Amino acid sequence: MRIGELSERTGTSRRLLRYYEEQGLIVADRLPNGYRDYDERYVDRVRQIRGLLDAGLPTRIIKQVLPCLDKPRTIYFSDATPEILATLEHERDGMTERIQFLTRNRDAIADYLDAVRGGDRRDVPA
């Protein structure tokens, strides 16, 4: 698929897709006319990249983690430095905190909706 289709299917700008390519996160084949041609698997890959970026991981770490996402049982980096491991642990812990925060907010909203829809207005703040 061409870059425009990948952009539309992932909600990622063409500019960012080119940046991901520059960073070595995705690779496009080139058609005879010079256009980029992306394999179907890059739809999920770009979504993974976006999720990892949203979680706060830098592209240099994402580049090392991406191969592991395809085969999580064979995670191994020959060049995993203590810095990379510490960064991943820190990011994991931050994700856990954000998940807990989001879960609390989701549950509070669900409780509010239940109270409003159930007609029990006494527990709903004015």
pLDDT of residue 125: 54
Q: What is the pLDDT of residues 41-99, one digit of tens each?
A: 999 999 999 988 888 788 888 888 887 776 655 555 666 778 878 888 888 898 899 88
* Least confident window among 16-20, 25-29, 56-60, 70-74: 70-74
- Residues 14 and 33 reside in one and the same domain: yes
**DSSP one-letter string for 59-124:** HHHHHHHHHHHH-GGG---TT--HHHHHHHHHHHHHHHHHHHHHHHHHHHHHHHHHHHHTT-GGGS
Is it the case that residue 121 has pLDDT exceeding 70?
A: no
What is the distance between the alpha carbons of residues 116 and 95, in angstroms, rounded to a whole number? Answer: 31
- pLDDT above 70 as % of the chain: 86
Domain count, the chain: 2
Same domain, 1 and 62: yes
Residues 67 and 122 both lie in one domain: no
CA distance 68 to 75: 5
Helix or strand or coil: residue 46?
helix
